[in-house]
Structure 1
Amino acid sequence: MVSAKTIVVNPQGMHMRPAQLFVNTMAKYKSDVTIIFGDKTINAKSIMHLMAACIKQGSEIEIQCSGEQEAEALKAAVELVESGLGE
């Protein structure tokens, strides 16, 4: 398992479009992807779980990846969050 902490920079946080982009990107990897946000553990390949977490701009999250492509998945996830999730 690999993990990294990052800050959500998207002004609207993890709302519908950014969450969908994140889920679609993570679906390409043969890894389990989890986001730790506060006391919540979120399946980062589930749009419903991401949206229900109410992750806002400025929130610190920890992304954990485990499986075949864990390093590649983590790198892509962190880059996506730090780039503003497509917005």
Structure 2
Amino acid sequence: MEKTLTIENKTGLHARPASMFVQTANKFKAKIKLTAKGKTVDAKSILMIMSLGLQQGTDVTISAEGEDAQASLDALTELVKSKFGED
């Protein structure tokens, strides 16, 4: 399963939203990957996510597989769409 979204918050995926993303991903058993700019990384690793340098307007694809894949995709999609509580 996968979902493609656009990073909308002005400051991109800096440390705080990246941390929120990883914390949310780690609540699930599913194997979750984040793909952007031609690279795919483990969505449960803050260092890997930060290495992508995601800025506002960047398209990202979240993919998940495993028993709670749909729930993890729903939660991470909601987090990205909420702009990580920023504006």
Give the TM-score taking structure 1 as reference length.
Answer: 0.95
Q: Structure 1 residue 10: deviation in Å?
A: 1.3
Residues 51-70 of structure 1 mapped to structure 2, 5 A cutoff: 51-70=50-69
Per-residue Cα deviation, 1:29-57 (whole angstroms, up to 9, x for no partner): 11111111021001111000011110101
Residue 24 of structure 2 is matched in structure 1 by: 25
1:7 aligns with 2:6: yes
How far apart are the structure 2 equivalents of 1:60 and 1:16? 18
Q: Secondary structure at the match of 1:21?
A: helix
1:71 aligns with 2:70: yes
How far apart are the structure 2 equivalents of 1:42 and 1:86? 23
Aligned positions, number: 86
Report % sequence identity: 36
C-alpha RMSD of matched pairs (Å): 0.7
Q: Secondary structure at the match of 2:11?
A: coil
- Cα pair 1:21 1:86 within 8 Å, conserved: no
Where structure 1 has 5 or more consecutive residues not aligned to the other structure, the ranges are none
How far apart are the structure 2 equivalents of 1:61 and 1:15? 15
Where structure 2 has 5 or more consecutive residues not aligned to the other structure, the ranges are none
1:16 aligns with 2:22: no
Give the TM-score taking structure 2 as reference length.
Answer: 0.95
Q: Structure 1 residue 86: deviation in Å?
A: 2.4
